[in-house]
A = this chain, B = another copy of it.
Amino acid sequence: MKKINLLEKFNLFQEHWTPKIIGELNSQHVKIAKVHGEFVWHDHAEEDELFMVIKGELIIYLRDGQITLKEGEIYIVPKGVEHKPFAEKECWILLFEPKQTEHTGKVDSALTKKLVELV
């Protein structure tokens, strides 16, 4: 078991909206992603999803409002709640969610990506 340095991990890739697994514990994944622009509306029927902003600013649109997250801020989207992340400029995020969580829930989108592990 090695320690995980977030900055080193973020420097290993450039692509947007493509979460990378950086850790696993108790059947949950720790992931990081670089995001820019608009994602798709989706929900995860059975999984709560934690977003933490590491750099930049992320807006999470909800059907009844929106949350703006800056560096050092966290939001937990409860299971079943539709959300659409958006970042006007590139933003770096950390995600914490169950291993079985699907990227865009049951929505099939051009943005839907298979999960890969970042070694």
A contacts, CB < 8 Å to B = 1, 3-7, 22-26, 28, 30, 47-50, 54, 67-69, 72-78, 96-98
Contacts and interface: CB of A to CB of B under 8 A. Distances in A.
Contacts of A28: 26, 28, 96
Given A30-B50, A50-B30, A96-B96, A76 B25 contact: yes
A4 B97 contact: no
B96 A1 contact: no
Contacts of A7: 72
Number of identical monomers bound together in the oligomeric complex: 2
Contact of A5 (B22, B26, B48, B72): B72
Contact of A26 (B1, B3, B97): B97
Contacts of A76: 1, 4, 23-25, 30
Given A26-B98, A97-B26, A98-B26, A4 B49 contact: no
Contact of A74 (B6, B69, B73): B6
Given A30-B50, A50-B30, A67-B3, A25 B72 contact: no
